Structures are given as structure tokens and as C-alpha cells.
A and B are shown apart, each in its own frame.
Chain A
Amino acid sequence: MEQFEPKIIALVCNWCTYTAADLAGTSRLQYPANIRMIRMMCTGMIDSKYILKAFLSGADGVFVGGCHPGDCHYIDGNLKAGKRIPGVGKILEQFGFEPDRLKLKWIGASEGPEFQKYMTEFVDTIKTLGPSQVRDRMIL
């Protein structure tokens, strides 16, 4: 059987996490090709429905990366995301999906190695969980 290659969407903040991702690239830190990165200005603008949309469109996992608390360019957008995103995880759980398919992490601008580590770990988690059933089971 062909190995399961999950589709993963990473919604990252423009200021810290995107810089870290770029740094990981410049430092030649490899991470899996499964990640589709979408740059947002701030994790604070990541609407819950974007995450649901990603799952409903067939994503096997969604990763949200923002600045460490206190580092947010917009003062506290990341903290607002920190309240909102776990709520989406709960929604997934209530519908019988694995909440681990959604991950929120704070990654600072200099944390290229951390970015690589979290990405690799997340891909591994999703590989263990197998393909997501969200799209198939939610008839929309």
C-alpha cells in the first residue's frame, strides 16, 4: 500500500512564524513537503470557519503558528487566537473527529529549528491518525 501522505495546511502569522519558516528555509532545515503554508497577517484574524473550511476541503490537519504571547505585532492578536482556536478543536471533538488534527503553536522569529521540529512532529501525528474523515462524513 502506498504510504499515506497527509495534506496539511499551516496558517502562519506574517511577523514571527513566517519569519521562522523563512529562517528554517535559509538555514536549510528540511521539513515535509505536505505542508501548504498560508500567510496571514496575524493569528488573530484566523476565523474559526477557515479551519473548518480547511477540514471540509480535505485537509488532514491544520497547523496554526503565531508569535509568542507578548510578541504580537498587533499587541494581543495571538492571545485572541489562543482563546478561539482551541474552541474549534472542541467542535471537532464533539463531531467525533480527533482534536489533535488541529495544532496551535507559538513560534518566534528566530525559532527556525523549532518550526522544523513542530512541522515534522505534526506531520507524524497526522500520519499516525490516518486520513481525516471530516470531508467524507460531513455532508455539505
Chain B
Amino acid sequence: MTEEMTSKADRISTPVNIVVAGAGITGIRTAIDFAASGYKVLLVDKAMHGGGILTRLDHQFPNDHCGMCRMLPMIDRGTDKETCLRRGLFHENILTCYSTEVVAVDGKAGDLAVNLSVVPTGVDKTRCSGCGECERVCPVMVPDHFNGDWVNRKAIFLPTPHLSPDSRVIDWQACTSCGACVEVCPTHAITLNGEREQVELKGVYAVVLARGVNLYDPALTDVYGYGVLPNVVTATDFERIMSSSGPYQGEMMRPSDGKPIKKIAWIQCVGSRNVMIGADFCSSVCCMFAVKEAILAKQKMGKESDAVIFYMDMRTFGRDFQRYKDEAENVKGIRFVRMRVHSIQLHENTDDLLISYVNKDGEQVDEIFDLVVLSTGRKKDFLTCDWAEADGVFQVDRLPGFKDIADSVVGASAISEQVLRMIHQQNLKPDKNESDHSPDISFVERRPSYITVLCDCNTSLSNPIDFQKLENTIHALSSGHQILRVEQACSKEGWQTIRKAIMDGQANRCLIMACDAAVDFSRKREFTNELGFPVSFVDLLDVVSLVRRFQEGEDATDTVSKEVFMRLNRLGTRSYASPLKQAQVKTVLVIGGGPAGLQAASVLAAHGFTVKLVEKTDRLGGKLAQIEESDLKQHVEKMLAGVNKNPQIDVYLETEVIQTSGRPGVCMTKLKHASGETRIIHHGATILATGGKEVDTSASVVSESHERIITGFDMDAMLKANDSDLVKGPVSTVVMIQCVGSRQEPNNYCSRICCLKSLKNAIRIKDLHPETDIYIFYRDIMTYGNSEILYTEARKKGVLFIPFDTDNPPRINMASGAIIIEGDDPFLGEPVQIKADWLALATGVMPNDVSDLKQVFSFETTQDGFIQEADSKWRPVDTERVGVFVCGLARTPARLDEVLLEANAAAQRVLTLLEKDHTSYSPVTARVRNAICSVCGICIEVCPYQARYMDEDRRVVHVDNLACQGCGTCAAECPNNATVLGEYEDHGVMSMIESSL
């Protein structure tokens, strides 16, 4: 079930449990979540390819890495092809279908009729060999939008550079139906019929709507000359300039004249934060995007280069973002200029671009750039569709906005959890999985008997192969090898011939050499399901991609023979062990009884799990009293009442976790009550929701306390109390100072909530006392997403904002008994002195101390004490220890709504692990040969997944089969060869190396 449906309607007849509309990061994440639980997923996208915006970027902030593949399943790895996600998503439970839209959804959740409108690709993937002849002969050239329109592409083309199998698609708008491609196609895979087909699916449980956002097009309304000045580009287009798979193969040259790029400017907030065009929102990711691009570009441009970011506020509101930005500025030499650029002009008669601005000192500066990048975000309007509100439709876009990867992944898993909750409550089951067929043991136990299938249609090979010579090579290996030459392995007849030959010849090792169309990932499954072959006894060799690197016409026989020889040798070393199935304990330990813990506990109980909720203090609810949003407060109160009544949730107050052992799925943990009493609980997974607290760093700016110098939290509380002085008034002047103790060492992170709190407080005061003067000293106002409206509102109401730098913070002078705040107003260019009735210091949040738990669960913490997730982008709620998850303030500063989403996402990760009664593990898993193990422990040290542990009593090393991801580092490091990795045993690899030479 992996390739796209080209013979659309027939293929779609496979049962589909869940349809995911939108194949960007969120769509992919939800699809993998469902697939991992065994549900059949149809993943569709209107675009010609999956992956969304991510297909255009090679690196992500805040570490400049790529790690998309880390989203792939870690449990039951064998269900997936285990390959770079840029090449495509290959999971046996996921069918991907692009150029496809959901047009109607009818019925009730759990039993929906879904209508799809499918645009054919024009190329039948089951026949296409990926030779690319069609693209070569196509006479139509159109601008390649994927690559910023700087180069041309054909009307039949590869929609993304990495796509695998690399069969082309037809752009029907560009296609002239000349028929050149049809004539040249050696496998007759092309049909020039672009008419939409309608497909109706019945009995679908749910539809997930994950459309993502439309990107803002600066050509429409902006003043920066995009579309007119050729060297003004958008941030996503700039990614293509930097990419090795882009139009210039990664050479930093500019579009207009190919001049090497040495100096670039980024202009922030293009199309965002602009009330003139009705865009009263922040696109949230563009600041970090620009910092990342600047860092990478500067690296590529080398010495004597310059990268400048013109910004209004640097919104570094993620946990690790401020340090990333600081490093960019202080170490990597990126310049940050606070300035809304007025316009961009051409410099004299060149293609260079001139930006004039006034600097800090009030002087006009003219700077000339080779390239200007516009940091464009999302469009104002969200995508809509008629069926968005239909029953059974779950919208990922409920919290609209442009999100970074981590927030998208969290939001996606939170939705998966909700969908599965509906499915569980209706008691719906996944369709029986074909992969449940286990291999036929008689196949496995018989003496190896080989068959090599050579597809000699040969028509799509650009290089000649001497098949007779190839056969001789195989016979040289051993005369008993059977060889079957078929004309078209991809065709139905071809497959029947192969099948018959295998059965007749009693072969139990098989190598098929053919093109992409025949050696697709799903073929391996067919072998298991129809012939009883273990997957590891079949090898598929894609000969087209093997010879593609040669010059046209060059003889490829030698290379192909070597490859065949090598693979047959390898097959000979394969063995098969039926995978052990491991039972799971369907109980979850949740540590922390604040909002995150309560949410995770309630959700998991709703899925039928037993929850052990452990809380250190004597009551649940955490910082309930401080929750300002009334709807969220009600939600938490409701959960609190529910948890106490729920028989599936056992609450342990005044209790701490002191010891744990076991592996994902089966753990034993010791709890200790304040009275000293201990108890042991059995559980399958753990969620860390230990929360955080307000950090009082006001002492860092005020030497002595004053009753009218308070924190933002205090001010919020006072404004809620009707009899407080602040509410009663009169209040003449209020001053707030932001980032007190935040965003600078040692707490160098944004707390996310303080700007919102200050703005809300300011607006409330202005509502109560319109005559009050309010001054907010700030560094960057972090109203990301739609909370930008608060900033706009505060300014409309007359709140004055005064920016400051860390090297010149406002000073508080209490010498006269009054509170005087002294600072410098960069706009006036003069010092200011403000006498305040009230001074609110916006102090941030910090995580609760988890050093004891860190010992118990051996997770990592950041330098600020937050629990370190396994991957800040792709696995945000996993810890490095499989089966231990984290959510809420324990991991990162967050708003309460975000905390709750994280709790849902963590619950979803638990579902993936524990939903099935048994899990089986991939054959590519390490094991220890105890007889020759010297118990040195090196393997335990190097294992990146903590999948190994020492049994101290028996002095043996164990491998946790679920946690092991098959990286093989242990085997490579083991000094005794006592550790072996399944399918990569030494003798197999060695024989491959030997036979390849």
C-alpha cells in the first residue's frame, strides 16, 4: 500500500479507516500515528507531492539540522520502509494520493462516506520504470515554481527532487497533449487524460483536516518590489538558492545575473503584523527562519560576507531560540537592525539593491545588498472547505496559525489522540492487517534454494546489459541457482510467472532485479502474504537507479553482475527467527498533578487505560489559581473533579517516585509516600508532567522591596480582586518592565507568557482608568500568532512602549521614596524619567526541580533544568528513553492551552506504544551472545536509546527489543563481537564486501 493510485478508482477500493487531508508535517504525523495503531490511512494532498513546505527546506532551526526521518515509527519499524522522508512516506498502512481533494464528507463519525476528486498523474506508477525519457522529449518548458521560477521545467516532471519511486507526473495546465512522451515511454505507462475522477469511500471512521496555511504572496500588496526587482526573493524561495538540490546546485549566486552573493538583507514581517493590509497577526516562525537562513547563508558565503536582519521584534519565543539568536549575533556575526524598512531601490545601473535607513544614532545609512530576502509568513485568510464542520471531521487547524515543526507535531498528535478516542469509544477496530501473516516455517527451515529473477524488458535501461554474461556470473556462484528471465516483472503476468517459478522450483531465497515499478517496497509484503517468505529472504534490486550514474551507452554488465553477486551472497547469510511478541501492561504512570498531568490522566483513562497519578504535594491542580482564561480554568476544574471520581485513575498524593526498572511496555516503579510507606506499581509507560513555577527574579533589578513594586503575576491577581487599590484607583502612572531575569543568562529563554500577561494587565488598567499613563519597557514583544491583536489593542489604547537593550536596562531609583524609572528612549534619542505609582516586573517561569527524577529515569535536562526531549523538532514529547514521555512546563515554557495540547500529544505517544495487546519488533535488532560477552559495558554506554542494561546479578547484558532501533553502534563497538545486529551480522556484511570486489 505505498505507491500512489494511478489506476485511481481500483486502488482506492482497499479499506480505508481514516482519511487525512493534507500531507504536510501535521498530516504525515497524524497518518503515522494512526498507521502505527494498525488503522488503514489514506493520506491525500491537493498538491502534486507530500511534505508541504518542508520539501523545499534542507535545514531547520534552532540547530540547522534535518531530522524529518525521526518522525517514523520506532515501534514495529518493519512496517515502514525506513528511508528518508524526502523520498516519500512508505508505510504498509498508509496509502498516499496526491493531486487529490476531499470534496464531501457525509454521515456520522465512525461511518462516513467520503468523496474524493482525483487528478490523474498521467503516469501509471505500476508500470513506470523511472527512466525519465518522457521528461527528456517533452517540448514544453514552464517556470519551475518549486525552485522559485528561476529555472524551467517540463510539463512532465518530478514534483520534488528526492521523490521515490521517481515516476513523473503531468502538469495538465502546461501539457499540450502533443503525445511525444506517450510515444517514447518504453513501458507504455503514460495516458494523456487529465480528467478528474471521482471516488467514493464508505465506512470511513474519521477525516482529519490538516491543510496547513497559505503562504503570503508579496507580489500582491507589498512595497518591496517583489516580482519586479529580480533579486528580491521570499524566504522559502531563498531556501532553494541555498539547497544543493535547488536551481544553482547550492552555489550562492543570485537569480538576475549569477553574481556570487556576498551580502544579504532579510526584511521581517512582510505580510504579517501589518494592520494596513488587515494582517493583525504574527506568523510566528519567520524570525527564527530568518536567523537560520542568515547563519547558513553566512557559512556558505564564507569570509567577507554580510548578513543583516531588519526586524521589529525578534520573536525568539521557543525554549532554545534566544540562545540561538544570541549566538547568531555574537558568535556568527549576523547583524540585527531594528527597523521597518521603507523601500528597496535599485542601486544605480546595477542589479544591486539599496536600502536606506536611519541607525540608532540617528544617522542615515545607505547599504547595498546583492540580495534581499522577504520574510513572508502566512496569508491572512485561512483555507476553508465546505465539509470542515461535518461530523467526524477533526481539524488540526482549530488553533490556526503558522507553526514551527515542534508545535505542528504536537498539534498533530493531539488530534490523533482525539480521533482515536472517538474510535475507541465507538469500539471500532482497525481492518485486519495483512502483515499479520507470519512467514511459513517450512520455507525458512528448508535448505537454501535460490532463484534470481531478471527482468529483461531492458527497454528502460539507458545502458546495455549482457544478460548471458550475467547468468554466467550467477551460475558461477553455484550451479543450483535457478534463474528466471521474465519480460515484464511489473505486469500481472510477470508476477504470476515469478510466483509459479518460485513454487515449482521450491525456492526459498529470492532476488528480483527489475526497475522501480516492480521492486517497490510493497512487493516484499506480497512475498510474505502470498508465498510465506520472510521479508529478509527476498531482495529487490532496482537496476535502473543502479546504472543511472553511468554515461549513456556505457556497458553496465560488470557493475550489475557484481551487485547481483553481492546480494546473492548476502541472502545466503540471512537467517530467520520468528519475532517474539511482547505483552504490554496497559497502565500509565503520570507524574505531576498539575494541568498537564490531569489532562494526560483524564485522556488516557478515556482510552481505557488505568492511570497512576503521582503528585508530590498534598493536592492536585497545580497553579490552578493563577489561570486567567476562564474557559481553561473551568476545564481544569472539571478535570480535577473527574479525576477524583474516576475509578480508572488512582491518585497518590504526597508521593514521590524513587526507583524504576523494566522496559517500555513493562515497567516496575517504586513510590514513596511522605509517611515513609512504599509501594510498587506495574505500568507500561510514563508521562513526566512535573510542571514549573513562577520565578521571582525581581531582586535582580530592585535592591529593596517596595509594596508598589510587584510582579506581573501579582498585578494580574490584584486586577482580579475588586477591592484592590489598582482597581479602585486613582492610578496616575503604571510602568512595566519586561524580561526581568529572562532572556539573559542564566535564564536565557523566553517564558512565553509574560508579554501576554503585561499586555492584558495594561489593557485592563486602561479599561478601568483610561487616564492612566502606562509605559512598558521591553526588549521584544512576544505576541506570536493571533495574540498580536493584544499588542495592537494596547497601542491603540495609548500604552507607550519603550525598547531597551540588555546593556542599558531601565534603572529604578527609590532614593526620594517615590519609584522613579530612568531609561533611554531610542525614538526620542533622550533619557526619560518616569515616576510610577506602580511598577510591575514581568518575571518568567522556570521548571520545577527534577533532579531526583532525573536519577530515577535517567533523562537529560537542559542547562535551565527543563527536561530534554528526544528531538526538539520531531519528537517533542518523547524523552531519549523510549516509553518515557514529557509534557508541559517541565519541558518548555508554554501557555496553558499549549500545555494541554502537549498532554494530549504525550497521551497519543503512549497509545502508539501500548494500544496493541502485543508488540513485535523488527528483525534489525541487536542481540548479545552471552557466551563470548565480557560484560565490559561499552555497548551500554554507546547505545543512543538506552536500550541496553546490565543484569548485575547474572552479569549479563540485555537488549530491550522495543527500544533498540537497529543502529548497530553497539555491534561495531563491541570488542568481542559478542553483539550482533539482525540482518547485519558480520558474516553477511563481510561476504558482501568480499563479493563486491
Report the minimum CB–CB distance from B871 to chain A (whole Å).
Answer: 8
A58 touches B161 (CB 8 A): no
CB-defined A-B contacts under 8 Å, sample of 10: A16-B66, A23-B162, A25-B545, A47-B971, A57-B993, A59-B997, A74-B945, A75-B945, A109-B86, A112-B244
CB neighbours (8 Å) of A29 from chain B are 549
Whether A30 lies near B66 (C-beta < 8 A) is no
Note all chain B residues with C-beta closer than 8 A to A22: 87, 162, 164, 545
User: How would you classify the secondary structure of chain B's contact residues: helix, strand, loop or mixed?
Assistant: loop
Contacts of B825 in A (CB 8 A): none
- Given known A-B contacts A23-B245, A26-B158, A33-B554, A74 and B969 have beta carbons under 8 A apart: yes
Give Cα A25–Cα B66 distance, bound, in whole angstroms: 21
Bound Cα distance A36, B968 (Å):
21
Instruction: Tell whether, in the assembled complex, residue B87 and residue A75 are in contact, meaning their CB atoms are under 8 Å apart.
Output: no
Q: Are A80 and B993 in contact (CB under 8 A)?
A: no
**Residue A45 lies at the interface, judged by CB distance under 8 Å to chain B:** yes
A29, A68, A110: most-surrounded residue (chain B CB, <10 A): A110
Q: A19-B162, A109-B66 are in contact. Are A47 and B986 (CB under 8 A)?
A: yes
A53: Cβ under 8 A from any B Cβ: yes
- Asked if B70 and A73 sit within 8 Å, CB to CB, the answer is yes
Which of B57-65, B504-512, B603-611, B677-685 sits within the interface? B57-65
Interface residues of B in 978-995 (CB under 8 A from A): 981, 984, 986, 989-990, 992-994
B69: A residues at CB distance < 8 A: 15, 73
Interface size class of B (residues with CB under 8 A): 35 or more
Question: Does B548 have its Cβ within 8 Å of any Cβ on chain A?
Answer: yes
A side interface size, CB within 8 A: 52
CA distance A27 to B548 in the complex (A): 9
A102 within 8 A of B: no
Task: Answer yes or no: A42 CB below 8 A from chain B CBs.
Answer: yes
Those of B950-997 within 8 Å (CB) of chain A = 965-969, 971-973, 981, 984, 986, 989-990, 992-994, 996-997
Query: Which residue of the partner chain, among A19, A42, A57, A71, contacts B968 with CB atoms under 8 Å?
Result: A42
- Do B65 and A24 touch across chains, with their CB atoms under 8 A apart? no
* Interfacial residues of chain A within 89-110, with CB under 8 A of chain B in the complex: 108-110
Q: Which of B554, B942, B993 has the most CB of A within 10 A?
A: B993
Q: Does B115 reach chain A (CB closer than 8 Å)?
A: no
Residue A126 interfacial (CB < 8 Å): no
Chain B residues whose C-beta falls within 8 Å of the C-beta of A133 in the assembled complex: none
A40-B984, A45-B981 known; A16 vs B244 contact (CB < 8 Å)? no
B15: interface (CB < 8 Å) = no
Contact partner of B244 (CB less than 8 A), chosen from A44, A49, A110, is A110
User: CA–CA, A127 to B957, complex, Å?
Assistant: 46
Residues of chain B lying within 8 A (CB to CB) of residue A74:
944-945, 965, 967, 969
In the complex, the 9 A-B pairs of residues with the closest C-beta atoms, listed nearest first: A45-B968, A74-B967, A70-B65, A44-B969, A25-B548, A19-B84, A75-B944, A36-B996, A110-B245
Within 8 Å CB of A77, what residues of B? 944, 967-969
**Could you tell me if B984 and A45 are in contact, using CB atoms closer than 8 angstroms?**
yes
Contact A44 B993 (CB under 8 A): no
Contacts of A41 in B (CB 8 A): 82, 924, 966-968, 984
Q: A14-B82, A26-B163, A80-B973 are in contact. List 13 more A-B contacts (CB 8 A).
A: A15-B83, A18-B84, A25-B548, A27-B245, A30-B551, A44-B969, A70-B63, A74-B965, A110-B86, A110-B162, A111-B250, A113-B250, A114-B244
Interface residues of B in 529-577 (CB under 8 A from A): 545, 548-551, 554, 556, 558-559, 562-563, 566
**In the complex, residue of chain A having the shortest beta-carbon distance to the beta carbon of B550:** A33
Give the docked Cα–Cα distance between A68 and B63 (Å): 12
Q: Does A38 contact B (CB under 8 A)?
A: yes
A84-B997 contact, Cβ under 8 Å, with A26-B166, A45-B967, A71-B67: no
* Contact between chains at B549 and A25 (CB < 8 Å): yes
Residues of B within 8 A of A26 (CB): 130, 132, 158, 161-163, 166, 545, 548
Instruction: Provide the bound-state CA to CA distance between A71 and B132, in Å.
Output: 30
Please, how many angstroms separate the alpha-carbon atoms of A16 and B789 in the complex?
42
A residues 7-35 near B (Cβ < 8 Å) are 7, 9, 14-16, 18-19, 22-31, 33
Chain A residues whose CB sits within 8 angstroms of the CB of B166 once the complex forms: 26
Within the complex, the shortest CB–CB distance from B178 to chain A, in Å, comes to 23
Please tell me which one of the listed residues B65, B70, B86, B965 contacts residue A68 in the complex, with CB atoms under 8 A apart: B65
Q: How far is the CA of A108 from the CA of B563 in the complex (A)?
A: 24
Q: In the assembly, what is the distance between CA of A68 and CA of B64, in Å?
A: 10
Q: Say whether B243 faces chain A, with CB atoms less than 8 Å apart.
A: yes
Question: Given A14-B82, A30-B551, does the pair A53, B58 have CB atoms closer than 8 Å?
Answer: no
Task: Name the interface residues of B806-823: CB closer than 8 Å to any CB of A.
Answer: none
A23 touching B566, Cβ below 8 Å:
no
Determine if A9 and B973 form an interchain contact, defined as CB atoms under 8 angstroms apart: no
Q: Are A42 and B162 in contact (CB under 8 A)?
A: no
Would you give the shortest CB distance from B708 to chain A, in whole angstroms?
A: 49
A75 to B946, CA, bound (A): 12
Q: Which residues of B contact A59 (CB under 8 A)?
A: 993, 997
Q: B858 near A: Cβ within 8 Å?
A: no
Known A-B contacts A7-B997, A57-B994; the reply to A110 vs B243 at CB < 8 A is yes
Contact of A45 among B70, B87, B969, B997 (CB under 8 A): B969
Q: Please, how many angstroms separate the alpha-carbon atoms of A112 and B158 in the complex? A: 15
Contact A110 B161 (CB under 8 A): yes
CB proximity of B539 to chain A, nearest CB, Å: 12
* A62 CA / B253 CA spacing, docked (Å): 34
